[in-house]
C-alpha cells in the first residue's frame, strides 16, 4: 500500500502545526513547525523545516531545516525585543500587540508549483518563488525568483536557468501539476525518461 494518501497528510512526530491546511499526498517531516500556511497537493517538507505565513503550490520539495516566511522584528522602534509584542510573557497587566501579529501574518510568501528549496535555505516574507524555481542549499532569498530559475547565495542571485524561457513557458501552460493522480501515474514512465522538451512534444495538445 502506498505510504501517502489523498485523505490525510503524513505528519511525522514532534511537529508543531497551527492554523494550516494540507492538500492530497502531503508529507511534513519530523520536528517541523508549520503556522498559518497552506500546502498544495503532493508538496512536502523534510525534517525540522520552519514554515510560516506561506502559500505553497503543488509538488513543492522543501528540504530539511529550510525556513519560509522567517518572521521579522520591529526595527523602527527603540527596541526590537519580544517584550514589545509578546508583552504578556513579561507582565501580568500587559497584552500582546495583536496589530503586530496581524501584520506579520499578512506578509505571505508564495511558493510556486514544482519548486525545490534546498537544505537550510531561507525564503523571506512576501517573496514569490515562481513555478519550477530552485533555491540552493543555504541561500537566503530576499527578492522574487522568476519561474524555472536557479538561485544561490546570500542574498540569493540567479545562478542559471533550470529550463530555457520558451520551455518554461510551455511547461507552465501544460500545468501537469493539475493533472489527476491517475493521469500522472500513466505518464510516470515519460516523466522518468523524457527530457522536458520531448515530454512537452508528447503531451501538449
Mean pLDDT score of the chain = 97
Residue 131: is its pLDDT beyond 90? yes
Q: According to the model, what pLDDT value does residue 41 have?
A: 98
Classify strands 67-68 and 16-18 as parallel, antiparallel or unpaired: unpaired
CB 117 within 8 A of CB 62: yes
Which phi-psi region, left, alpha or beta, contains residue 93 (left: φ > 0; alpha: ψ -120 to 50)?
alpha
**Dihedral in degrees, nearest 10, Cα atoms 84, 86, 87, 90:** -120
Predicted structure pTM score: 0.94
Q: According to the model, what pLDDT value does residue 134 have?
A: 98
SS3 (DSSP) at 182:
helix
Query: Mean pLDDT throughout 34-53?
Result: 98
Task: State the pLDDT confidence band at 71, using cuts at 50, 70 and 90.
Answer: confident
Non-local (6+) Cβ contacts of 199 within 8 A are: 190, 191
Look up residue 71 and give its DSSP letter: P
Q: According to the model, what pLDDT value does residue 112 have?
A: 98
Residue 171: is its pLDDT beyond 90? yes
Task: State the pLDDT confidence band at 72, using cuts at 50, 70 and 90.
Answer: confident
Q: According to the model, what pLDDT value does residue 121 have?
A: 98
Q: Which of 73, 81, 82, 181 is catalytic?
A: 73
Residue 93: is its pLDDT beyond 90? yes
Residue 136: is its pLDDT beyond 90? yes
**CA proximity to 23, closest of 53, 50, 59:** 59
Known catalytic membership, residue 73: yes
Q: Which residue has the higher pLDDT, 70 or 15?
A: 15
Residue 205: is its pLDDT beyond 90? no
Amino acid at each position: 500500500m502506498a505510504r501517502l494518501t489523498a485523505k490525510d497528510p503524513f505528519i511525522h512526530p514532534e511537529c508543531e502545526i497551527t492554523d494550516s491546511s494540507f492538500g492530497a499526498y502531503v508529507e511534513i517531516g519530523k520536528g517541523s513547525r508549520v503556522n498559518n500556511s497552506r500546502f498544495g497537493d503532493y508538496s512536502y517538507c523534510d525534517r525540522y523545516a520552519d514554515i510560516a505565513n506561506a502559500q505553497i503550490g503543488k509538488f513543492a520539495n522543501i528540504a530539511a531545516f529550510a525556513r519560509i516566511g522567517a518572521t521579522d522584528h520591529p526595527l523602527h522602534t527603540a527596541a526590537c525585543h519580544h517584550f514589545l509584542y509578546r508583552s504578556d510573557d513579561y507582565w501580568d497587566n500587559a497584552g500582546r500587540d495583536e496589530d503586530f501579529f496581524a501584520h506579520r501574518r499578512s506578509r505571505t510568501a508564495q511558493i510556486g508549483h514544482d519548486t525545490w528549496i534546498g537544505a537550510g535555505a531561507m525564503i523571506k516574507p512576501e517573496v514569490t518563488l515562481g513555478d519550477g524555481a530552485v533555491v540552493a542549499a543555504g541561500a537566503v532569498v530576499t527578492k522574487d525568483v522568476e519561474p524555472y530559475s536557479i538561485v544561490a547565495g546570500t542574498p540569493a542571485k540567479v545562478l542559471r536557468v533550470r529550463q530555457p524561457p520558451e520551455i518554461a513557458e510551455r511547461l507552465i501552460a501544460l500545468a501537469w501539476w493539475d493533472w489527476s493522480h491517475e493521469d500522472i501515474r500513466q505518464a510516470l514512465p515519460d516523466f522518468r525518461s523524457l527530457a522536458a522538451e520531448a515530454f512537452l512534444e508528447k503531451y501538449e495538445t
